[in-house]
Structure 1
């Protein structure tokens, strides 16, 4: 679990998202009883390090639209945790992300406006709360932004999102103390991974962020489908 958080912190520290992609399936496989609470503790902590360095680059207007969509999405995600099979949701969302990645790779632009940001926030709220993987929708919308702006904006979004998801899970009785303890024990691995992401961050900022986002979003979708299909 610690190794998966370490690798996820490297990915998210360099690109802007990826923690849920790497760590959520591994933690779910090894100790499903602490999910999704444990990954939300990690998701709340990691953005603090990114914002400490790049908070001035936050796109506050875009963030507002994304949070507007995220609020109802996270409540719906909480209901999914209680009443609906997350397997069906995971397959559906994973397929949607793959289609979006395919269209984008074929030069179909994803406009960044109030509608797309609100929609991305809504989908991220559902999948992030239910499965711990909420980065790809926001990453696709911001793929053409500069690296620092992507990381800072997504960091603030994930910070607020994780806090909201933790509150909803607690309200629904789906946040056991073991989940909080497990998440806290993973934080040292997170810190080391973020520190190790520095060289990769500088490499990707040289015009390579968009490609990295598409690859990571595609792998995330496949991971979500596999996790949902095989449990």
Structure 2
């Protein structure tokens, strides 16, 4: 159910699968995380790209990927040596701070520096926790809905594939994580199919509000699940 709802959110806003699914999967079976979520993170974007691939911001994507590679390496080190609980709280606080700052401003500057920085932070959090969407989504929050979804989809696909390889290299990708991720593809596909009507509604000038709301809710949820586990 969590993956289904997360796919509905991501299919309509452009991100949110990890935000909804990671806390629940972490509570149920932390041993399969973050590998199981990365399998789903790599697959769902393909459905978005099949519909909106022409709207990808290739220049911005390049900057984001430039930052994500070193960020993924840092995230892998964190997985091996640092408490995921401590990282989760830190990530949640940073997301809430970013939401608070950007909610009061018209927009964040979207340039090479901000996008690369967002990609770097996303690489750290995405590899270590399975949640990599908020940093890049906050930078793109004032773009049009199709461009946000397409650019984030390509970023998530390439980033998740990168994270899976890195997790395997540091021996933190058990076979059960892969099989769990494969099993979750069914509710993921169903969630994407349901998201169609929401995409049309949010594209009527409501995408930015939805991004801020989803990011804030996810951060609060991450703090809650960290305190409970």
TM-score scaled to structure 2, two decimals?
0.98
Q: Tell me how far 1:226 sits from its aligned partner.
A: 2.3
Corresponding residue to 1:158 among 156, 159, 170: 156
Whether the aligned pair in 2 keeps the contact of 1:136 and 1:220 (CA below 8 Å) is no
What does 1:97-176 align with in structure 2 at a 5 Å threshold?
A: 97-107=95-105, 109-176=107-174
Whether the aligned pair in 2 keeps the contact of 1:72 and 1:125 (CA below 8 Å) is yes
Whether the aligned pair in 1 keeps the contact of 2:95 and 2:216 (CA below 8 Å) is yes
- Give SS of 1:193's match: helix
Partner of residue 42, structure 1:
40
Q: Tell me how far 1:136 sits from its aligned partner.
A: 0.6
Partner of residue 80, structure 1:
78
Partner of residue 29, structure 2:
31
Whether the aligned pair in 1 keeps the contact of 2:107 and 2:141 (CA below 8 Å) is no
Q: Tell me how far 1:227 sits from its aligned partner.
A: 2.8
Partner of residue 22, structure 1:
20
Cα distance in 2, alignment partners of residues 183 and 76 from structure 1: 23
TM-score scaled to structure 1, two decimals?
0.97
Cα distance in 2, alignment partners of residues 228 and 32 from structure 1: 12
CA-atom RMSD in angstroms: 0.9
Count, aligned residues: 229
Cα distance in 1, alignment partners of residues 3 and 113 from structure 2: 32
Distance 1:108 1:96, change over 3 A: farther
Stretches of structure 1 lacking an aligned partner (at least 5 in a row):
none
